[in-house]
Amino acid sequence: MTTQQHTRLTQAERRIRSRNALLESAARGIAQHGYANLSLERVATQAGYTRGALYHQFAGKDELVLAVVGWVKETWAAEVGQVLTDHGNPADALLALARNHAIYCRRDVAAVLLNLRIEFDSQDHPVGRLIAESIDHIVTDCARLIEAGRTDGSIPQGPPARTTADALLTALEAVAIELAGQAPHDIDLAERAVRGVLGLPPH
């Protein structure tokens, strides 16, 4: 009885399977330990491989983490960020963002965003730059919505739109991750925090 594993795989299937396993392991590791304490040895072992496999798929630690960030960006954009472009009431869009983000953060790898952002804050590193750019883009979208809402009267006046958007996303991210797993209050409190930052009355 030899190790006849996985019913014979093609190279492409093998590659994708390994790559995904390594990415998931890395995401979990970043969420738990951050970038600095992320050991490629542990990432590979936890995924069932050695560092050799990892270096075959990714040029190095940076590229691995960049791939993780890219994956998070994609899933976030699909599951959360799409409400920013659905044209409708700006205030409703931002509140929907809060609820969607709270749900997104229920998965244990969501902390990747927050961990890396803090770790690379005000630092000159490719990972930090990618994170900063991604966040900046989202902040810009939110600021536009806030300005639109203030124009049409659905959002009260307040600090500059961009500063408000910055606070909104910061509070939302922190609350959603901190309260992940405390359903259903995670959604409620995320929405409350966003309402407060926007100056909206309680629901």
Q: Give the residue ranges of DSSP H helices in the chain.
A: 11-33, 40-47, 51-57, 61-79, 90-104, 111-119, 126-152, 161-178, 185-198
Asked if residue 46 binds DNA (CB under 7 A), the reply is no
Of the candidate residues 4, 8, 10, 36, the single one contacting a copy of itself (CB under 8 A): 36
Asked if residue 100 binds DNA (CB under 7 A), the reply is no
* Smallest separation, CB 202 to a copy of itself (Å): 4
Asked if residue 166 binds a copy of itself (CB under 8 A), the reply is yes
| CA atoms of 39 and 61, how far apart (whole Å) | 9
| CA atoms of 130 and 83, how far apart (whole Å) | 22
156 and 199 Cβ atoms separated by less than 8 Å: yes
22 and 54 Cβ atoms separated by less than 8 Å: yes
Which of DNA, a copy of itself, none has residue 32 at its interface (CB below 5 to 8 Å by kind)? a copy of itself
Asked if residue 158 binds a copy of itself (CB under 8 A), the reply is yes
| CA atoms of 50 and 102, how far apart (whole Å) | 35
Q: Left (φ > 0), alpha (ψ -120 to 50) or beta: where does 138 sit?
A: alpha
Binding mask 37-56 for a copy of itself (x = CB under 8 A): x-------------------
Residue closer to a copy of itself (CB basis): 147 or 188 = 188
Asked if residue 201 binds a copy of itself (CB under 8 A), the reply is yes
The residues of the shown chain that bind a copy of itself, judged by CB under 8 A, are 32-34, 36-37, 111, 114-115, 118-119, 121-123, 156, 158-160, 163-164, 166-167, 170-171, 173-175, 178-179, 182, 185, 188-189, 192-202
